[in-house]
Amino acid sequence: MAEERAGVTVVVPTYNERDNIPVLLERLEKAFASANRPLDMLVVDDNSPDGTAAYAAELGEDGSRPIRSICRTEERGLSTAVIRGMQEARYDICVCIDADLSHPPEKVPELVDAVENGAPFALGSRYVPGGEMVDWGGLRLVNSVGATLLARPLTRVADPMSGFFCVRRSNVPFEELNPIGYKIALEVIVKMGVTDPREIPITFTDRLHGESKLTLKEQLRYITHLERLYRWKWPLFTQLAEFCAVGGAGMLVDFTVLTLLVELGGVYFGWAQLPAFLAAATFNFFLNDAVTFASDAPRKMGMGARYATFLAACVAGGAVRAGLSIWMYENVGFFETHYLVATFLGIVAGTAVNFAGAKFIAFRDA
């Protein structure tokens, strides 16, 4: 008889998946028997109304079948359920798989073999040669491809949206994980710094029983999750990009107020500049305060002080923009003809001053 190989904990995050559990368990048992490996199927359930956790515990209560369950009553979410499962795994090698049978359990041994043979991370992929999706509509495919492209700067993995993966628990930086939503594989790949994962082709099918958990709310949470990962990987660049995006929106506010005052209010253009500037700066302040420089920790500076400091930075940036562009226009022949280039360089310099004032003074404790 062949020597028994290393055991594996298969983490299964669930919510109302009772009908799928016995089917998944049976298929995993067959796959592990063929691979001659001990199986630890760990169901991590978010207190499902259909009794998923209790049913899973009942299946394994006499010790004859390798299944156990955890019922979480205080916490929710697929990603945190997977983390909890890996933390309470019996074996170092852990696999995450969906309960809905969309991932083929028969592929688990192949993922495990890849990790045992040196891959830091193995992923079941729909987008490598041999992988495919069954019964997917065009809208769902577009949604998946779009989400993948948004994550492309973070990883070159072909299918970072997959939730079917294998990793050694001892290599997972649990203290760094801060997921939101359901894309835990992407979180682990980025936080582990994985550059050479092994992607195993799989056939992805629609769920066997129950309803999909993919909602508009979850898609919005995915965008928030991406922002967190970009900020973690490139903190300064991400803040600068968000700051510039806010500034672009603020420019629209500036132009709108200016136009309304001049065209409808009959206010002199020069005098209309001030309220337009204040409206845009105020808009930018609150958006930057809530997004670009958001902080969960208590702020050392009050809202009024942050606002005043931010306005001062904006005034300084405006002065730098005007002064530099005018100086280049008047003193460098090239810019006399190409004055838009001088204006652009002035804007860049002014934005740099605004950003520095916001980050290091107004929002220095963010």
What span, in angstroms and rounded, lies between the C-alpha atoms of 75 and 233? 27
pLDDT (mean) for 228-239? 91
DSSP string covering 89-147? -SSSEEEE--TTS-S-GGGHHHHHHHHHTT-S-EEEESSSTT-EESS--HHHHHHHHHH
Query: ∠ CA(27), CA(87), CA(231), 5° rounding?
Result: 105
What span, in angstroms and rounded, lies between the C-alpha atoms of 28 and 95? 11
The backbone torsions φ and ψ at residue 198, rounded to the nearest 5 degrees and listed phi first, read -100, 125
DSSP string covering 270-322? HHHHHHHHHHHHHHHHHHIIIIIT--SSPPSS-HHHHHHHHHHHHHHHHHHHH
Q: Is the pLDDT of residue 70 over 70?
A: yes
What span, in angstroms and rounded, lies between the C-alpha atoms of 12 and 67? 10
Q: Which of 56-65, 82-91, 177-186 has the highest mean pLDDT?
A: 82-91
pLDDT score recorded for residue 209: 59
Residues above pLDDT 90, as percent of the chain: 49
CATH number of 8-233: 3.90.550.10
Burial class (CB in 10 A: 0-12, 13-18, 19+), 228: middle
Q: Is the pLDDT of residue 1 over 50?
A: no
pLDDT score recorded for residue 166: 97
User: How many CB atoms sit inside 10 A of residue 261's CB?
Assistant: 20
- For the chain, the structural domain boundaries read 8-233, 235-362
Residues above pLDDT 70, as percent of the chain: 94
What span, in angstroms and rounded, lies between the C-alpha atoms of 248 and 198? 41
- pLDDT, one tens digit per residue, over 104-152 is 999 999 999 999 999 999 999 998 999 887 766 666 677 778 888 888 8
SS3 76: coil
What span, in angstroms and rounded, lies between the C-alpha atoms of 56 and 44? 10
Q: Are 70 and 57 in contact (CB under 8 A)?
A: no
pLDDT (mean) for 48-76? 92
Q: Are 320 and 350 in contact (CB under 8 A)?
A: yes
- pLDDT, one tens digit per residue, over 288-327 is 999 899 876 788 888 999 999 999 998 998 888 888 888 9
Q: Is the pLDDT of residue 3 over 50?
A: yes
Q: What does the longest C-alpha to C-alpha distance in the chain come to?
A: 93
Residues 6 or more apart whose Cβ sits within 8 Å of residue 324: 342, 345, 346, 349, 350
